[in-house]
Amino acid sequence: MPWGLIVEPNTVSSSKFSALFADVGLEPIVARDGAAAKALLLQRTEAPRVVLTELSLAGIDGFQLIRELRQSVPQAHILAISSFVKLRNAALDQKQQFNIEAVFAKYGPLESIRRTLYRVMGVKRPEALPALAMDAALPTLPELPLLPLLEARLLPTEPPARSPAAAPTLSQREQVRLATIAHMNLADDEAPEELLQSLVQETARTFNVPIALLSLVLKDRQWFKAHVGLSGKLLQDRGTEREAALCAHVVEADAAEPLVVPDAATHPVFSSNRLVREGVFRSYAGAPLITREGTVLGTLCILDHKPLAISAEQVAGLVALARRVAGEIDLRAQLRKSQRALSQERDAHVAVRLQTDVLAAALNGLEDGVLLFDHRRVILFANEYMALLADKSVPQLTGMHRDAFIRAFSARFKDSADFLQRVLIPADGPYVGREDFELNCFPRRIIRWTSRPVAFPDGNFGQLTVYRDVTNEIEFTPVRTFRESGVSSAE
């Protein structure tokens, strides 16, 4: 059986691409970064018929991988995907030079990729092609033994009607993003806060790099709320113009994903960057700072003066650190608003008020499955729907430590190891998290995990965590287009 190589760090995305490959008779083989892809090519005696690669990859970026593929497997059909508009445009510019079949928005319609696969494989499309789960209208579901009674609330029988015009444009999304930064009062002239500065220092030590930044992307510039390793004008200004900010590409992307540039000096998009030409940095990796609502405020990023040797697993670690930083930012914004109210609550009635606020926090955040943790990562509250999702009772969940809960809950997902890795958080402190996972069930379901800190009246904090079915949202939300109709250069 011919095989195809999928180079994609996100397992939800690689899963849907694998289904497309199998649909045209290709055995799908997945690698999470460029180095793993090269290792697979060396292990296999037969060359892949098709290679679908993300352009932002750890270790070896997608552009370098494509250049090497053209030398080692010149007959392979290469498809490029990315959430980053300028990376897609750069791939279009190199389309003829490296014989790239097509360039796609990662979260665009699957039908465009499917048509291209049928064409390059020389397979005649059936008149009534069976719909894949990501594209199909969802039928009424049968009873599922794994998740009883979930159908009516998690997956409506008819998908919500959405018009392409209803999708927020970049300018609308940017207005919301800038308003969120202003509302949280994040950009100021004060010295970096001690805890945020210590987290950025920890980031630099963890990845053994000279520069680490907590960068907020504002309207015309990026501003460093905390920083390590700056000097000269960068230190004095605590920022740069937005045009020079790689972090700006992260906030402008179609979806909140890390951007990895292992060697900017050879990169078709970033080699002309002013800071790269001036020798400020040569490599970059930035993880988005995401609010619970999905707004990207900026990044936690690392930079080096030499090419960055980083793996997909290390990028996942950077994402985990970014969750912690986002949690501290969120918690501080809450505390600034309610500091006076909090001081008034520290009296003899604090226990009663704490119980009331815990219940209110859970009810106010109720979407589907809801958990409330205390600052020790112990579950204070679980709603009944969360118990149903976890296949446990509410009393069993209450008092359970997050580590034990996550280990048990991971079995509910298609790739439990990936789930455990992508919900990774620091050992202590607040955090903000937002990830999508595929449940281990049929039909296919996507569950979104979100978590954010909540301030308690006694001065401590907790975490409000929600597990919500977003299958319909992912399937039927249009994505922003880009040059040449935005989906593919091949059609």
For 5-27, the pLDDT digits (tens) are 999 999 889 999 999 999 999 99
pTM (two decimals): 0.76
165-186 mean pLDDT: 79
CA–CA dist 358, 186 (Å, integer):
26
- Give me the chain's average pLDDT, please: 84
Helix (H, G, I), strand (E, B) or coil at 414: coil
Instruction: Calculate the dihedral angle through the C-alpha atoms of 355, 361, 366, 370, rounding to the nearest 10 degrees.
Output: -70
Residue 149 lies in a domain: no
Q: Does position 149 have pLDDT exceeding 50, yes or no?
A: no
Distance CA 356, CA 360 (A): 6
| List of residues 6+ apart from 232 with CB closer than 8 A | none
Share of the chain above pLDDT 70, in %: 81
Closest C-alpha to 326, from 279, 289, 371, 378: 289
More confident residue, 93 or 382: 93
Distances (CA, A) of 239 to 202, 205, 224, 293, 370: 20, 22, 6, 26, 39
Domain CATH for 69: 3.40.50.2300
Q: Among 97-101, 127-131, 196-200, whose mean pLDDT is lowest?
A: 127-131
Residues 6 or more apart whose CB falls under 8 angstroms from that of 308 comprise 209, 260, 261, 262, 263, 283, 284, 285, 302
- Provide the pLDDT confidence category of residue 358 given band limits of 50, 70 and 90: low
- pLDDT-derived band at 491, boundaries 50, 70, 90: very low
Q: Which two tokens stand for residue 429?
A: 């402190």
Those residues whose C-beta lies under 8 Å from the C-beta of residue 127, and which sit 6 or more positions away, are: none
Closest CA to 214 of 247, 191, 184: 247
Same domain, 290 and 412: no
* Helix H or strand E segment including 447: strand 446-455
Residue type for position 200: V
| 133 vs 99, higher pLDDT | 99
**Which structure tokens are listed for 371?**
């958990």
CA-based nearest residue to 23, from 46, 41, 9, 4? 4
Query: In the prediction, which pLDDT does 66 show?
Result: 96
In this structure, the answer to whether residues 350 and 317 fall within a common structural domain is no
Q: Which two tokens stand for residue 93?
A: 């510019």
Which contiguous run of DSSP H or E holds residue 422? helix 416-422
Residue 144 has pLDDT above 90, yes or no: no
| Co-location of 235 and 194 in the same domain | yes
| Same domain (yes/no): 466, 351 | yes
Tell me: do 121 and 176 sit in the same domain. Answer: no
pLDDT at 160 (0 to 100): 39
- Position 116 in a domain: yes
Compute the distance between CA of residue 275 and CA of residue 282 in angstroms, rounded to an integer. Answer: 9
In the chain, the amino acid numbered 309 is A
Q: Which of 57, 90, 125 is where one domain is finished? A: 125
Q: What is the pLDDT of residue 277?
A: 96
Candidate ranges 296-310, 321-335, 349-363, 374-388; pick with highest mean pLDDT: 296-310
pLDDT for position 326: 94
Domain enclosing residue 89, as ranges? 3-125
Would you state the pLDDT for residue 355?
A: 59
The residue that leads in pLDDT, 209 or 139, is 209
Would residue 28 count as lying in a domain?
yes
Q: Please indicate, yes or no, if residue 482 is contained in any of the structural domains.
A: no
Mean pLDDT of 427-431: 86
Three-state SS at 443: coil
Pair (210, 94) in one structural domain:
no
Cα dihedral 294, 299, 302, 308 sign:
positive
Q: Which two tokens stand for residue 88?
A: 């897609």
d(CA 210, CA 455): 34
Q: Which of 107, 125, 143 is the last residue of a domain?
A: 125
**Looking at the structure, do residues 175 and 287 belong to the same domain, yes or no?**
yes
Residues 235 and 294 in one domain: yes
Percent over 90 (pLDDT), the chain? 62
Query: Same structural domain for residues 25 and 58?
Result: yes
Last residue of a domain, which of 61, 95, 125?
125
Looking at residue 409, what is its pLDDT? Answer: 95
The mean pLDDT of 69-81, rounded to a whole number, is 94
Task: Specify if 158 maps to a domain.
Answer: no
In a domain, 53, yes or no: yes
- Structure-token match 């401590």, residue found: 460
Give how many domains the chain has, as a whole number.
3
Centre a 10 Å sphere on the Cβ of residue 315 and count the other Cβ atoms it contains.
24
Which residue in 222, 224, 202 sits closest to 213, CA to CA?
224
Quick check: 479 and 108 in contact, CB under 8 A? yes
> In this structure, is residue 452 part of a structural domain?
yes
pLDDT at 339 over 60: no
Same domain, 117 and 224: no
- Give Dmax over CA atoms of the chain in angstroms: 76
Q: What is the CA radius of gyration of the chain?
A: 23
Digit-coded pLDDT (tens) for 42-71? 999 999 999 999 999 998 999 999 999 999
Q: Which residue has the tokens 């890390």?
A: 258
Domain of residue 359, CATH code: 3.30.450.20
- Tell me: pLDDT of 392 over 80: yes
Burial class (CB in 10 A: 0-12, 13-18, 19+), 91: buried
Look at residue 487 and tell me if it is in a domain. Answer: no
Least confident of 238-247, 383-392, 397-406: 383-392
pLDDT category of residue 140 using cuts at 50, 70 and 90: very low
pLDDT digits (tens, 9 = 90+) for 257-266: 999 999 999 9
- 8 A C-beta contact, residue 44 and residue 21: no
- For residue 491 the two structure tokens come to 């059609």
Q: Is the pLDDT of residue 250 over 60?
A: yes
317 and 350 both lie in a single domain: no
Both tokens of 84, joined, read 């980053």
The per-residue pLDDT for 387 is 87
Question: Are 175 and 317 members of one domain?
Answer: yes
Q: Check which CATH number belongs to the domain holding 252 and give it.
A: 3.30.450.40
Q: Identify the pLDDT of residue 480.
A: 45
